[in-house]
Amino acid sequence: MRVAALVAIALLGACSTVQREAPANSFVMAPPAAPTPAGPPQRLPGYLQEGELDILQVLAPAPVEGSVRYEADRKVFLATRAFEGSPRWRMADEDAKLGSADLLKHFACALDAQLDPASVPATLRLLQRSVRDAGVAMNTAKNHYKRLRPYRIDTGPLCRPVEDLGETYDYPSGHAMAGWTWALTLADVAPDRIAPLLARGRAIGESRVVCGMHNPSAVDASRTAATAVVLALQAKSEWQADAEAARKELAQVRGKAPRPDPQACAVESALIAQPIG
């Protein structure tokens, strides 16, 4: 599938891997659902109604050429090209993978459990539907601000190929928005792991800066937008019911799941703590 439509096809199901960011009119953050006898996979809907959350009232305007924020973004992009080939660079490359199995792998150390998609359907349903709403907000902002990605302003090595990104925009970052939405949602249903979950969600966003795919301002905007979306979702009775189902599911499954390798988690923690700019 050509990703000419940015991390945004939203939440189709349970098991496939999406590795690239999609254009600004679809959200790729979601794994496709298993096919049904009746036809192709069905996309899960979000929880919010169209127009229910005006994300443009929440976000600050994107940086414009000549402003302090614009120049700060450029400096960080150029400076972070030095990460090329480093362990943090390789982590950023892995963080670009956003299928269900990848999601659970990214957050394994934070949850202190190695989970597989088949074992946590209720949790994935909650995460996928939540990211669907985050994708709508992301697309609205991208299409409004049309902020250029950093590699279209300056040059330098990138940790991911850009051929399929087309003329997609920077502000806010879809991957960062997905990572923060997932982190906030998981923190709600696994509150004993709030700190490591939020740290891991932050790192997924920072990986987009390390990769050279997004500017720091776009990642910051993603966290703001994702927080607004999740707060809106938490007021929904349907979201609350799905969250309770996920909470019960994780309480049962995490206790039986194998724990991630302590040494690998120590390495991950060190990379997450590493300043990127």
Q: How far apart are CA 172 and CA 85, in angstroms?
A: 26
Q: Exposure of 105 by Cβ count < 10 A (0-12 exposed, 13-18 middle, 19+ buried)?
A: middle
Beta bridge partners of 8: 27
pLDDT tens digits for range 129-166: 999 999 999 999 999 999 999 999 999 999 988 876 77
131, 214, 169: which is closest to 24 by C-alpha?
169
Q: What is the pLDDT of residues 4-47, one digit of tens each?
A: 233 333 323 322 323 344 443 344 444 434 433 444 445 789 99
SS3 88: helix
Measured CA distances, 195 to 79, 95, 191 (Å): 28, 19, 9
Among 142, 111, 134, 109, which Cα is nearest to 223's?
134
Q: Do residues 24 and 168 touch, judged by C-beta distance below 8 A?
A: yes
What global pTM score does this model have? Answer: 0.88
